[in-house]
């Protein structure tokens, strides 16, 4: 399994979108500051993820989420989450 995931930075309130084959390990790496691109934006909340059967599909989904249509999808999908915050 491969996962496409969306983190929300509690510091700057922006998304980080990525993919991985080990979701727990990758989230922990982000939280511990082991990922250079997110080190200064900690802590994070995992707000969304999808499981894919192969890496190619996970990469494709990551690229979609980073597009304008993908960001709109995420904002609509997470509408209730943002209302609670």
Distance, in Å, from the CA atom of 65 to the CA atom of 83, rounded to the nearest integer, reads: 21
Q: Are 5 and 26 in contact, with CB atoms under 8 Å apart?
A: yes
What are the tens digits of pLDDT across the range 22-80? 999 999 999 999 999 999 999 999 999 999 999 999 999 999 999 999 999 999 999 98
Specify the pLDDT at position 81: 85
Specify the pLDDT at position 85: 58
User: Domain 2-84, CATH 3.40.1440 — does that match?
Assistant: yes
Write the CA distances from 35 to 29, 52, 63, 68, 83, integer angstroms: 6, 23, 19, 25, 29
């Amino acid at each position: 399994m491969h996962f496409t995931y969306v983190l929300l930075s509690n510091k700057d309130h922006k998304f980080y979108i990525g993919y991985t084959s080990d979701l727990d390990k990758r989230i922990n790496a982000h939280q511990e500051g082991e990922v250079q691109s997110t080190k200064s934006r900690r802590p994070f909340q995992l707000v969304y993820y999808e499981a894919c059967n192969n890496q190619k599909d996970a990469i494709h989904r990551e690229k979609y989420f980073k597009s304008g249509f993908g960001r709109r999808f995420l904002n609509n999908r997470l509408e209730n989450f943002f209302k609670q915050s």
